[in-house]
Amino acid sequence: MTSPPLPHSSHAPGAADPAGPGFRAEDERYVGRLHAGLEDFFAEQRAVLDGISPDALPLLEAVAALSSGGKRLRARLCYWGWRAAGGDPEDPAVALAGAALELFQSAALIHDDVIDRSDTRRGAPSVHRRFEGLHARHGWTLDGPAFGVASAILAGDLCLSWSEQLFARAAAALPGTGRARAVFDLMRSEVMVGQYLDVQGEVAGAGQDREGAVQRALDVIRYKSAKYSVEHPVVLGAALAGAQEPDLERCSAFALPLGEAFQLRDDVLGVFGDPATTGKPAGDDLREGKRTVLVGFVRRRGSEEQIAELEAALGRPDLAEEDVERLRGLITACGALQATEELIDSLSEQAFAALERLDAEPVARAALRALATAAVRRAA
Amino acid sequence: MTSPPLPHSSHAPGAADPAGPGFRAEDERYVGRLHAGLEDFFAEQRAVLDGISPDALPLLEAVAALSSGGKRLRARLCYWGWRAAGGDPEDPAVALAGAALELFQSAALIHDDVIDRSDTRRGAPSVHRRFEGLHARHGWTLDGPAFGVASAILAGDLCLSWSEQLFARAAAALPGTGRARAVFDLMRSEVMVGQYLDVQGEVAGAGQDREGAVQRALDVIRYKSAKYSVEHPVVLGAALAGAQEPDLERCSAFALPLGEAFQLRDDVLGVFGDPATTGKPAGDDLREGKRTVLVGFVRRRGSEEQIAELEAALGRPDLAEEDVERLRGLITACGALQATEELIDSLSEQAFAALERLDAEPVARAALRALATAAVRRAA
């Protein structure tokens, strides 16, 4: 497995990178150690599951398959937060912490796909669909989709526990890092609460005031995604390396707006992205009725007719590609896409400016700049 | 809140209790500290959730309501395992560990009820039904049952994270207790794997050999319930107090057969129990198609006709009370109920004999004997 290439830092806004391309080799070495750590852990857990019953191995295989993909964004942010705070590149604890973040991400994705009834993830069947397929292949009895959902709930729970096992090992190897434990705990609560606010917004949103729609959508992405995808990994890495306030606050000042920009990019890709690149059908956010910032801007800027058309379509699982195409036109025409892109730009500028104020090793600053650029400019 | 009374130890088999009734007051003091610890933790998390959004508070309320009930069996077993190994009755860490076990149990119940589509739990609506009710009361849009399931998945995840937060606090207060962390981690994996084997047995079981049915059902209850409800709590408590092998093995020799007897009693109550006492409709295990030991014994001992009748009924959610009544007659007539009761007796005897070999403080032995008796003789 190899990590996707980072863009050259010369593509990034801000000052020229004094450290040159040196961070790329170090980043790849870290990702290599991360993968080795995950493989060792899966081998260990395979023995545990096999000892209970070989019938349980599909749980491990589903988690391992899902966790073999992805850009490793969270783990790499944690590593470079650690390095920014002066952490030792060779310390195995930071690979364990990164693996914990990646498994937390897998657990969240498994349950998120059940909740959103998503059929695919990273170009492969989602975990509940994978178990539904196992049921069909074996010709088992009763309800295949229900078996798929039950198995995915349990696979997600297992993955959540595994994430925490790995974090506890990292923390045990780095005494005096109680602040990092607090970050890890808060991160998990915030993601689950953010996801709840997301589904609650889907069912309650149409009746709520239009002016507040953009702010509510920003609250959801802050807790559901921005904090755990970007802010908490960077702060966690720095805290594991022993950083204290106010250095941790400076990490947040960089990483939180970056995380918000990252998730807004995700929302734009969820409607306008190329399914061949994102691995998910375009328009699924509309079919699921997600109250994204894009939707919030339509409600603020669109005509009554445009708002009515969007509201009638949101949450309809049967939206055809041509319906989605028409909604794309509407979101563009009323200026909602443009407003969202401007917000991404503004948040990115905040993040890059805060990065320059970070008291960090040059190589870490260069790597964080490159990761930040990739996060907000990506196409997948 | 008060704990349900323990039976007088004179009702228990085995030697007369030299400690007298002294353990009951101590047991009640522990349950009081456990409740106070849970309430403090919920107050702390209420502030976290409210800070994110007051809309998130129903998550906390659902977890707190579910966690206010129950017999506290797991926490009390942990406490008496701790005391058996010489732990200090006043140490706050053992109340944190007990609270962690209780929240783990809540998390498992929340997801279990989603998987089993159970409408009630402890006499109240199950968590997904509770959120479905919230949706209806507010007149929200889209799919109410889907909102209920999504919310319950997230509430269970939150509760699982909270359980682990509490355990980490207990472990941090008791350095050198890595063995307890290993027990806590294994416990969680085993429960999720056991639950998976349970649902996998429901869909795959009819096609599997009859002779192995009882053994497969025993494997499921061992991992899904016996170990985490009884064995791991006792061993965890002892390990937190610093006990080592082979004392921990002696704890297992008592607690594992007790846990198996406990779960077999649960299976019998699931078919023959009084709904007014159990808080769950009788026969739900049959409607869900659970491959319990009772079912396994019917497949081993029943006539072809009896087996065919049971197989045709298992997993049918529309089974009427009279169908359940007929199946009860069948399970009794072919000797499956009797065989299960004999197995409960045999496992209980093993457990009580092992308890006498435990090198424990007399008050702890008396309490464990009373808890064990309550676990296998209960009606709810």
Q: With 80 as the cut, is the pLDDT of residue B4 above it? A: no
* B46-67 core/surface letters (b: 16 or more CB in 10 A; e: else): eeebeebbebbebbbebbbebb
Crossing angle of helices A247-272 and A293-301, in 10° steps, is 70
| pLDDT value for B282 | 80
B188/A161 Cβ within 8 A: yes
Spans of chain A, pLDDT less than 50: 1-19
User: How far apart, in whole angstroms, are the C-alpha atoms of residue A100 and residue A98?
Assistant: 5
What are the distances in angstroms from CA B297 to CA B256, B303, B333? 21, 11, 12
| pLDDT value for A21 | 59
Query: Is residue B135 within 8 angstroms of chain A, CB to CB?
Result: yes
- Of the candidates B178, B197, B206, which has its C-beta nearest A53's C-beta? B197
Query: Is residue B320 within 8 angstroms of chain A, CB to CB?
Result: no
- What is the CB-side half-sphere exposure of residue A110 using CA atoms within 13 A? 33
- Minimal Cα distance from B116: which residue of A? A150
Rounded to two decimals, the ipTM of the complex is: 0.89
What digits encode the pLDDT tens for the residues B310-330?
Answer: 999 998 989 999 999 999 999
What are the distances in angstroms from CA A13 to CA A211, A266, A342, A360, A361? 33, 21, 16, 18, 18
Q: With 70 as the cut, is the pLDDT of residue B33 above it? A: yes
CATH of the domain spanning A9-377, picked from 3.40.50.720, 1.10.600.10, 1.20.1250.20, 3.40.250.10: 1.10.600.10
- Spell out the residues 6+ positions from residue B177 whose beta carbon is closer than 8 angstroms to its own: B171, B239, B240, B242
| Cα distance from N-terminal residue to C-terminal residue, chain A | 19
Contact yes or no for A321/A286 (Cβ under 8 A): no
Cβ neighbours of B140 in A, within 8 Å: 203-204, 207
Q: Residue A71, SS3? A: coil
User: How far apart, in whole angstroms, are the C-alpha atoms of residue A225 and residue A372?
Assistant: 15
User: Would you give the DSSP letter of residue B360?
Assistant: -
| pLDDT value for B222 | 94
A185/B223 Cβ within 8 A: no
Instruction: Name residue B121's beta-bridge partners.
Output: B124
| pLDDT value for A285 | 87
Q: Looking at A320-329, B208-217, B273-282, B343-352, which range is the least confident one?
A: B273-282
Q: What is the mean pLDDT of chain B?
A: 90
Provide the sign of the torsion angle of the four alpha carbons A215, A219, A224, A227, taken in this order. positive
| pLDDT value for A19 | 46
Domain ranges of chain B: 9-377
By DSSP bridging, strand B120-121 and strand A120-121 are unpaired
Cβ neighbours of B114 in A, within 8 Å: 153
User: Would you give the DSSP letter of residue A273?
Assistant: S
In the stretch 223-242 of chain B, residues with CB closer than 8 A to chain A read 223
Q: Which helix (H) or strand (E) holds A125?
A: strand A124-125
What digits encode the pLDDT tens for the residues B138-153?
Answer: 999 889 999 999 999 9
Q: Which residue has the higher pLDDT, B51 or A176?
A: B51
User: pLDDT confidence of B20, banded at 50, 70, 90?
Assistant: low
Q: What is the per-residue DSSP string for B245-273? A: TTHHHHHHHHHHHHHHHHHHHHHHHHHHS
User: Would you give the DSSP letter of residue B207?
Assistant: G
| Cα distance from N-terminal residue to C-terminal residue, chain B | 18
Contact yes or no for A240/A175 (Cβ under 8 A): no
